[in-house]
Chains A and B, each alone.
Chain A
Amino acid sequence: MLRLLVLFLTLFIYGNASARKFTIGKNGTVVSIKDALKIAAEGDEIQLLPGIYAEGEIVIDKRIILSGTNESILDGGHSASVLLIRSNGVTIRGITIQNCGYSDIREFAGIRLENVNRCIIEGNKLFNNYFGIYLANSHHCRILNNRVEGLAKTETSSGNGIHLWKSEYNLLVGNHVSGHRDGIYFEFVKHSSVISNFSEKNLRYGLHFMFSDDDSYRYNIFRNNGSGVAVMYTRHVNMDHNRFEYNWGSAAYGLLLKEISYSRINNNIFFTNTTGLYMEGSNQTIVENNDFVKNGWGLRILGDCFDDTIRSNNFRGNTFDVATNAVRSMNVFNSNYWDQYSGYDLNHDRIGDVPYHPVSLYSKITEESPFALMLLHSFFVNLMDQAEKVVPTITPEAFKDDSPLMKPLRNDTY
């Protein structure tokens, strides 16, 4: 072990001593980046002085560091990808990258990584690119504190902010993504973490992932995206301490789950979404300690979900707490706080003595015939809901919380 450490240190020091540094620009040692890349050796640093560099597609096939200030602008001139990384261990730091090409066939990106390991993309600004940062079959990379901004107009003509395909063990921290099709997109991505990112005003989803098992999403904010966040066909996902907010529109969701299993969704805030959490075909998933506040539908859980546990959540100010098309409930609700609960607590154990039925009659009817929504907020509908609450006859009897809380929980949310 010690010998290994010594070897490592020697290599480290040796590597550092031999690394050269090129400055690029009018007053630099080399004029163009491509020339510098030709003469650079592994481990060298290429530093961009402030200025605009329009050199077309730049292919990095050596383990170098490319750095600059935010005034160092790489302009792709709308032709192809701006930076194409094909070597392991490349670091791209503090550069502004803009105007990559658009193609219907190829997925050009501001920074595109292909089949590489251990790259670091840190503190860059990406502006008006088709795809922002694109990882294809790349592993152990870190995408840190980048600002990715697109000018997407239609879903078909725009790409994703940070796009990962078939990549493992990657880390995304502190990025800010806006104005793309999907803010962050994962497909076949395993063992990766998405932490403290901010994804807003994207056309479709703030976060979109499919077939990406064993990932975790923590402390992110997904705000005001076209249709919220969608996660599909995935197992073993942890989503905690996120904020899903202001995803408002006739087909918008705070968080949409489709075929998600063995996952945990805890300590999140769902605030002002048309549908806070939408669950379709999800099973063995635990939804715990979340706050559902001021949503149209707090939770929509379809009949093909089973063995899910919904416990210790707060439901406050939602138009409909829970909607379902199911007749029987194969999921467990317990110990949630429901602000529309009107029961009592005789023995003062802070648990209501009568069960709460979160599915209102009207929400059941509208689930079956959506046109009945024309009567939203009408006197008759309110009357009917109250009557049903007193004597439940039509709403699914099994959909109930046997131990509703009298006071809201103080959930540890972000």
Chain B
Amino acid sequence: MRKVLKYVIYDVFRSKMLIGYTLLLFAMCSGMYYLGSGDSKTTVSLLHIVLLVVPLISIIFGTIHYYNSREFIELLMAQPIRRRRILLGEYFGITFSLSVALLIGLGVPIALWDFSESSLILLLVGVLLTFIFTALAFLASVRSADKARGIGSALLLWFYFSVIYDALVLWLLSSFSDYPLEKPVLILTAFNPIDLGRVMVLLKLDTSALMGYTGALYLDFFGSGAGILYSLALLLVWLILPLIFSVKIFAKKDM
């Protein structure tokens, strides 16, 4: 697995896309700090970027890389290596490279301008989202042999978590606004890694006061040390489940 990992990382680091991604993040983040007032509003703007860009790039990059290295994967399969190791090697190669890109593109501006607890949580959320959405990308890729279909379903997954899910939640909350929604709100948050990440960062900012009763509810639940561990655990579940499924499918797959 280590050799596969090494080769994938070497391969990814040569691609222009990764460099472009790093530069894009760096330019956007340092631009935000440069133009913004440098307080929690800037962190909120960065949050917008991270929640939108990181999942999208991770899921697209993951699928494209998978399909582009299909021949290499087939070659590896002819060797005495377990299939699980091949896929995990590919997975960790990509997530490692993307995380490095994120740590440079986002981490350096944060270290330069605003080294605070909320920014660090934001960075952590960004890394976790990279892992989660690459796992989802692999799940979408191993399921279909057709490249266009794979990328299409990956994009649909991203669209679902970024837009459709929130739209459904909003519809649910406004149609059942007469009912006690404390528990549903917490459960609905847990079912979307992007929302979970957003809440984790917002609770570290004074913006959470705007969320009023809902914010107090969140703070009560997620704000404590145990709450942070709990949400981290939830995010890890979001990482591990798609990965296990894709490994299982990949292991039985007829190439």
Contacts and interface: CB of A to CB of B under 8 A. Distances in A.
B204 to A, nearest CB: 13
A377 B173 contact: no
B185 A371 contact: yes
A373 B212 contact: yes
Given A379-B162, A380-B162, A374 B188 contact: yes
B181 interface: yes
A368 B174 CA distance: 8
A371 B177 contact: yes
A376 B170 contact: no
B51 interface: yes
A374 B181 CA distance: 11
Given A377-B198, A378-B198, A371 B173 contact: yes
Contact of B207 (A249, A297, A319, A381): A319
B170 A365 contact: yes
B215 A373 contact: yes
A342 interface: no
A210 B216 CA distance: 29
B209 A365 contact: no
A342 B162 CA distance: 26
Nearest to A319: B210
Interface stretch (B11-19, B26-34, B41-49, B243-251): B41-49
Contacts of B198: 377-378
Interface string A251-292: 110000000000000000000001000000000000000000
A250 B209 contact: yes
Contacts of B202: 376-377
B170 A373 contact: no
A374 B48 contact: no
B114 interface: no
Interface size range on B against A: 35 or more
Interface in A313-353: 317, 319
A319 B208 CA distance: 12
A374 B174 contact: no
B48 A370 contact: no
A250 B163 CA distance: 27
A376 B212 CA distance: 11
B214 A373 contact: yes
Contacts of B216: 250
The CB with the most chain A CB atoms within 10 A, among B163, B173, B194, B206, is that of B173
A380 B170 CA distance: 10
Contacts of A381: 166, 170
Contact of A371 (B181, B194, B199, B206): B181
A29 interface: no
Nearest to B181: A371
A156 interface: no
Contacts, number: 92
Interface in A63-115: none
Contact of B209 (A252, A294, A380): A252
Nearest to B213: A370
A333 B162 CA distance: 36
B169 interface: yes
Interface string A220-262: 0000000000000000000000000000111110000000000
Contact of B163 (A296, A317, A372, A379): A379
B173 to A, nearest CB: 5
A251 B17 CA distance: 47
A379 B50 CA distance: 11
A9 interface: no
Contacts of B195: 374-375, 378
Contacts of A373: 210-212, 214-215
The CB with the most chain B CB atoms within 10 A, among A248, A371, A383, is that of A371
Contact of B214 (A374, A380, A382): A374
A410 B220 CA distance: 42
Contact of A369 (B177, B199, B211, B218): B177
B52 interface: yes
Given A371-B181, A373-B215, A379 B48 contact: yes
B189 interface: yes
Contacts of B215: 250, 373
Interface string B160-200: 00110011011001100100010001001100001100110
B210 A274 contact: yes
A378 to B, nearest CB: 5
A317 B211 contact: no
The CB with the most chain A CB atoms within 10 A, among B166, B194, B213, B218, is that of B166
B199 A374 contact: yes
A372 B209 contact: no
Contacts of B213: 250, 370-371
Nearest to A251: B212
Interface string B37-69: 100010010011001100000000000000000
Given A371-B181, A371-B214, A374-B199, A379 B52 contact: yes
Contacts of A371: 173, 177, 181, 185, 213-214
Contacts of B44: 377
A325 B212 CA distance: 16
Nearest to A383: B163
B50 to A, nearest CB: 11
Nearest to A380: B166
A274 B209 contact: yes
A210 to B, nearest CB: 25
Contacts of A379: 48, 51-52, 162-163, 166, 194
Nearest to B192: A378
A371 to B, nearest CB: 5
Nearest to B178: A369
- A-B complex: 3 closest residue pairs judged by Cβ atoms: A369-B177, A380-B166, A296-B210
Given A373-B211, A375-B195, 8 more contacts: A250-B213, A274-B209, A296-B210, A369-B173, A371-B213, A373-B214, A376-B207, A379-B163
